Amino acid sequence: MLANLALAVSAQGLKEALLLGDSSGLSAEETLDMLNSTGLAFIAGMKRPFVLGERPTTPGDFTADAIAKDARLMLNTATQPLPAVASALNSLEEQQQAGHGDEDFSVILTRRDS
């Protein structure tokens, strides 16, 4: 669960960085490049092909449904609040409700404006 917590929270951080970049007039590529020397460098590099449209989110390697299930388990297991996990779960559930749960969890990045 700890590894998937890091993955979910990092993906949510990347989503928010991309949203801020979008709001600031940066392209997704520019935002990803700026993140190369930050704590989000690993997830930004791993998800770059999805964000730039070079790789489709279907079929999903690790689906939004699967990581959302894990995030729910994390929240149910924790005896203290996990607000970053809750935020990531919210993004994942938005995509599940839109019918994208069977896609790679990168869908929270590629459909970040929905």
Residue ranges covered by each domain of the chain: 2-110
Q: What is the pLDDT of residue 114?
A: 67
Q: Which residues contact 27 (CB under 8 A, 6 or more apart)?
A: 21
Of 3.90.1150.10, 1.10.1040.10, 3.20.20.80, 3.40.50.2300, which CATH number belongs to 2-110?
Answer: 1.10.1040.10
pLDDT at position 101, please?
A: 98
* pLDDT given at position 113: 85
* Interatomic CA distance for residues 5 and 58, integer angstroms: 22
**Mean pLDDT on 61-85:** 98
Supply the pTM of this predicted model.
0.95
Residue 4 reports pLDDT greater than 80:
yes
Q: What is the mean pLDDT of residues 82-86?
A: 99
Q: What is the mean pLDDT of residues 60-74?
A: 97
